[in-house]
Structure 1
Amino acid sequence: MRNRLAKAAMSEALGTYDNHATPKIVELYRRWAQSGAGLLITGNVMIDRSALGEPGNIVIENESDLPILTQWADVARNEGASIWVQLNQPGKQSPKGLNKFNLSPSAIPFRQDMAAFFDTPREASQSEIEDIIQGFGRSAAICKKAGFGGVQIHGAHGYLISQFLSPHHNQRTDEWGGSPENRRRFVMAVYEEIRRQVGPDFPVGIKLNSADFQKGGFTEEESIATIRALADAGIDLIEISGGTYEAPAMSGMAGSSAKASTLQREAYFLGFAEQVRTQVKTPLMVTGGFRTFEGMNTALASGALDIVGIARLMAIEPDAPKALLNGRDCNHQVQPISTGIKAIDKMGVMEILWYSRQLKRIAEGNKPKPKEGGLWAFLASLLKSIWGTSQTKRLRA
């Protein structure tokens, strides 16, 4: 990496409705690579077209898109940035009607106020678990062939790997559930399969929750134990985050209960990173909450992390790294996105929907709209999602 600044993953949803990469994703990353950031991590590339997180997800499950995937990797490298693909399987965290069915470690429904948006999943069978593990490895190998600099396993934010780690979502009694060791068996198997298929020298990282912030969920103690196991296995980079759709701490919605000292230090998960640093020597990346050059530089100087991750800021100010790398604060600040509808704002989905609209503007050569209203963005995104879901189902039939 040319510096310690990384664009963290955000869901772009710039694929076709049959889930192929498009020139828009290439242009978006060309723009970000020109910003000067050292590392670009893509958002939510799925490993299986039958398991989508949202309409317009790009899926890498075979080599059919290898030419445009190669273009995608090349535009970043040609500008001096490293680019990694974030690989994901959403599990139960997929909107109702998008997939024929959703798998999870256990058939645990969403909480009552979210059940209208998400189906109760089906418990994954042994053979389905093995297929998913192999799928992660296959997708990573294709990414390597296309020329990407590495891959990141999405093990956070309530998606499938996060579900396996959580005792709330994973209530299995076989070798994939029960004890913390059994619950982390899945993520270890995913890492080992990726490593088997890409070899010892290709970078593999993970995004992992510090905690789920849900009652009966994945705890900080379990997270540290998982991090130690992954570090011992040879993982190359650990990005620390936290939360799920049901408890979206990753978007700062838990900030009101944070200590004043935590808010002053900006990063939501910096205190946890300090704990992790005492346990492992693996490079650490922290994303979420950073606002100023001083806050980022102070965090790096503390030794608690090696890479500063910024995400939403890059959606409203694509050239943010240029200012930061010159010792200046950015022109914009990330603000909470609100529709004014409590049930919707509570889910934190606007942190995906609103920002995806900004990414689309950048990809089309336009400027983002930092002051776009939350309610308007929600309604426009809802209509797009309904249309996209219907088209995805039609094309899959």
Structure 2
Amino acid sequence: MTIDVLAKPLTLPCGTVIKNRFFKSAMSEGLATVDHRPTPFLTNLYGTWADGGAGLVVTGNVMIDGRALGEPRNVVLEHEHDLDRYKQWAKAGTAHNTHLWMQLNHPGKQALSVLTKESVAPSSVPLSGDMKRFFAPPRALTIEEIYDLIERFGNAAIIAKRAGFTGVQIHAAHGYLISQFLSPLHNQRNDEWGGSLQNRMKFLLEVYYNIRYKVGKRFPIGVKLNSADFQRGGFTEAESMQVVKELAQAGVDLLEISGGTYENPSMTGRNMKESTRKREAYFLDYAERVRKLVETPLVVTGGFRTPQGMAEAIASGATDMIGLARPLAVEPDLPKKILAGDMKVRQLPPIQTGVKFIDNAAMLEMIWYEQQLERMGKGKEPKPSYSAWLSLAQTIVTQGKNVFQKRRSQ
């Protein structure tokens, strides 16, 4: 299989042209100031990825409400007070004709209890099992609060555009607020925002329409959507496909396919079938079914490890872009290398101490990758050989006992 398909430009419905098929998917950076402002670390990090050859780079989740944080040092975008900082970030991330999209998000009930005493959600339904103790108990949003959040998404999008970001992505996956609205397990409202699927998808559609009204027809808007929540009574594949059709009709420019929540993290590849591993991409089968329903450009993220597997996925028509996250945390110039003919198989290093309690409780793998992003933000090279024990020790020094609080990926 030739890799030439990976170098082909992609034209989005809004008319924007992406220079190649490499898509850097969102990863949480944790590189904002303590009061949630952009830093030079983010400018350096995204400049590194822009130099690395990807056609489209998506930021880690930027929160649209300072009262609702997914984790410490999230960037929060509510006003233009730091517009110059955002402009510096955008300028670095759009070098070499790279597109830089800001991912906009609200955590809903997935707000850590160390950050807030009470979270908001569609309904006052807490997370299940062991997850419950890590997150603030939720209360149901009022109608007025729902409309305020819709406005906040649109407000953040127009500021991102003014700063020089070339698009935005709405995070509607992984159990965050919009994903919670979509799920009948988490959304048990009996008003116009709950009940039927049409009502449950209303929040996502209203967020999209508000952003579209503010940024105009020619500015790209993407959506990250679960193929399913993989929870009993949750958001199903059949429902997801109905939402995809609605988003396509609404004019969304790019759909990123993912799946799972932090109660069942399928987006990490956990419990993956062997047949799926052989195809590399975790959600490629679902994307193939979606492709029969809509013409909206698709990106599949998770599992790609070989240039041949990436090229085959594009050539088959199942996806239009190749989503990469963790591989670009250790090899930020991977797209450039592949396009130059590098055909190596990439195997990510196992991040384990061998002590199961520590590995699970400290979410060590996520911490290790965040530390790689921090190194790049400080102008250093990633360090794939960095040991799990050193990673843990570094985190205990900087965060103390908070290292054993749950953390996020994307």
Q: Would you say same fold, with TM above 0.5?
A: yes
Cα offset for 1:351? Answer: 4.7
Cα offset for 1:95? Answer: 1.2
In the alignment, what sits opposite 2:255? 238
| Secondary structure of 1:59 counterpart | coil
* 1:87–1:337 Cα change, 3 Å: same
In the alignment, what sits opposite 1:327? 341
Cα offset for 1:349? Answer: 4.2
In the alignment, what sits opposite 1:394? none
CA RMSD of aligned residues (A): 2.0
Find out whether 1:365 has 2:379 as its counterpart: yes
What's the CA shift string for 1:337-393, capped at 9, x where partnerless?
44555567568944532211110011111122223344653564466456999xxxx
In the alignment, what sits opposite 1:308? 322
What does residue range 95-134 of structure 1 map to in structure 2 within 5 Å?
Answer: 95-134=112-151
Q: Percent identity?
A: 53
What's the CA shift string for 1:301-326, capped at 9, x where partnerless?
00111110101001011111122212
Find out whether 1:90 has 2:104 as its counterpart: no
Which amino acid letter does the alignment assign opposite residue 264 of structure 1? K
Find out whether 1:211 has 2:212 as its counterpart: no
8 Å contact kept, 1:105–1:169 = yes
In the alignment, what sits opposite 1:393? none
Find out whether 1:355 has 2:355 as its counterpart: no
Which amino acid letter does the alignment assign opposite residue 306 of structure 2? T
| Secondary structure of 1:211 counterpart | coil
In the alignment, what sits opposite 2:182? 165
What's the CA shift string for 1:7-40, capped at 9, x where partnerless?
1110011100100000110000111100111111
| Secondary structure of 2:217 counterpart | coil
8 Å contact kept, 1:46–1:87 = yes
Find out whether 1:291 has 2:308 as its counterpart: no
Q: What is the rounded CA distance, in whole Å, between the counterparts of 2:397 and 2:261 in structure 1?
A: 24
8 Å contact kept, 2:306–2:346 = no
Q: What is the rounded CA distance, in whole Å, between the counterparts of 2:133 and 2:354 in structure 1?
A: 19
Find out whether 1:38 has 2:52 as its counterpart: no
Equivalenced residue count is 386
Q: What is the rounded CA distance, in whole Å, between the counterparts of 1:140 and 1:234 in structure 2?
A: 16
* 1:67–1:219 Cα change, 3 Å: same
| Secondary structure of 2:118 counterpart | coil
| TM-score with structure 2 setting the length | 0.89
Find out whether 1:268 has 2:285 as its counterpart: no
8 Å contact kept, 2:359–2:365 = no
What's the CA shift string for 1:228-258, capped at 9, x where partnerless?
0011001000000011111111111132xx1
Cα offset for 1:329? Answer: 3.4
Cα offset for 1:76? Answer: 2.4
Q: What is the rounded CA distance, in whole Å, between the counterparts of 1:146 and 1:346 in structure 2?
A: 39
In the alignment, what sits opposite 1:148? 165
